[in-house]
């Protein structure tokens, strides 16, 4: 059995998965509020560091050496995936309907046909009914939503909209320059951010067991700004070049295993015959 061939093929599949991940990150480098995804490739050093204290045999024994050698032959594979939730660059827009969150781990809450979803994309607008919605048409939820439902709406006379750092909104009183209190945006901080799952449209679904809770004093809402993607294009391009080179190396290993070694074996057998 040509173990090296199968290991190289598995390694190439892992690199193809990395290429898909890197390509998706690069495609969203200008997407508002997008969070970079990363993959973890399992290899011998990772296995050894995680299990060296619980190995079935002593490292310096013959059995221990055989165990480590068997581990070395394991094929590389994707063993974990995670999302980088660090805050992206804040871009000033001066649009009163644009909002950003300056702290990591906070999200706006929106209403979708599938239920409440979370997003970092604060490029909001109003629909024909004056309701505050996302670019995809999902309603932006008020802080009172879990208690009494409702939405955030403005009438045609409310032309000036301001928000404080906690998401409390104020609008101009009719035929006046004075500001009156309006709705407050629902800001969510999930108990465990690892339970967030991407669903497309820059939305996250929370799959934790606990209920989502409103953060009353977030101090993180910034009006007139948008949070850009936290994808580092230079880093992604470097990883793309590295991954392409690894694919080429694995291809060379596979060719060596199937062509050169097999031809060599056949020629030696033919001479002996």
Share above pLDDT 70 across residues of the chain, in percent, rounded to a whole number: 81
Indicate the pTM of the whole model: 0.78
**So where are the chain's domains?**
3-85+231-272, 90-227
Helices (H), the chain: 3-27, 44-51, 62-72, 145-148, 233-255, 261-272
pLDDT in tens, 187-241: 999 988 989 999 988 999 999 877 888 899 999 999 999 999 999 999 999 999 9
Which residue shows structure tokens 């009183």?
173
Q: Phi and psi for 195 in degrees, rounded to 5?
A: -90, 5
Which residue shows structure tokens 């690892």?
194
* pLDDT over threshold 90, residue 186: yes
Q: At a CB cut-off of 8 Å and minimum separation 6, what does 11 contact?
A: 75, 76, 246, 250
pLDDT of residue 59: 52
Angle at 24 between CA 22 and CA 26, to 5 degrees: 70
pLDDT in tens, 45-56: 565 666 665 655
Higher pLDDT, 157 or 63: 157
**From CA 178, how far away is CA 164, in angstroms rounded?**
16
């Amino acid at each position: 059995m040509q173990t090296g061939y199968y290991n190289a093929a598995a390694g190439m599949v892992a690199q193809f998965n990395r290429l898909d991940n890197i390509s998706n990150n690069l495609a969203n480098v200008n997407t508002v509020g997008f969070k970079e995804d990363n993959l973890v490739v399992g290899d011998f050093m990772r296995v050894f560091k995680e299990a060296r204290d619980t190995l079935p045999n002593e490292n310096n024994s013959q059995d221990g050496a055989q165990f480590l050698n068997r581990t070395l032959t394991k094929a590389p594979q994707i063993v974990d995936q995670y999302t980088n939730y660090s805050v992206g660059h804040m871009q000033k827009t001066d649009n009163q309907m644009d909002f950003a969150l300056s702290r990591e781990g906070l999200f706006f809450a929106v209403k979708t046909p599938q239920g409440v979803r979370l997003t970092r994309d604060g490029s909001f607008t109003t629909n024909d009914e004056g309701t505050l919605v996302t670019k995809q048409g999902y309603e932006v939820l008020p802080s009172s939503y879990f208690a009494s439902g409702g939405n955030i709406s403005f009438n045609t006379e409310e032309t000036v909209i301001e928000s404080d750092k906690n998401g409390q909104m104020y609008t101009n009183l009719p035929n006046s320059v004075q500001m009156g209190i309006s709705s407050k945006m629902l800001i969510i901080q999930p108990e465990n951010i690892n339970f967030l799952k991407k669903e497309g449209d820059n939305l996250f679904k929370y799959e934790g067991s606990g209920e989502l809770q409103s953060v009353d004093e977030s101090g993180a809402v910034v009006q007139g700004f948008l949070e850009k993607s936290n994808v580092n294009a230079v880093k992604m391009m470097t990883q793309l070049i590295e991954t392409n080179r690894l694919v080429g190396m694995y291809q060379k290993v596979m060719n060596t295993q199937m062509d050169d070694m097999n031809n060599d074996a056949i020629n030696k057998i033919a001479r002996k015959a």
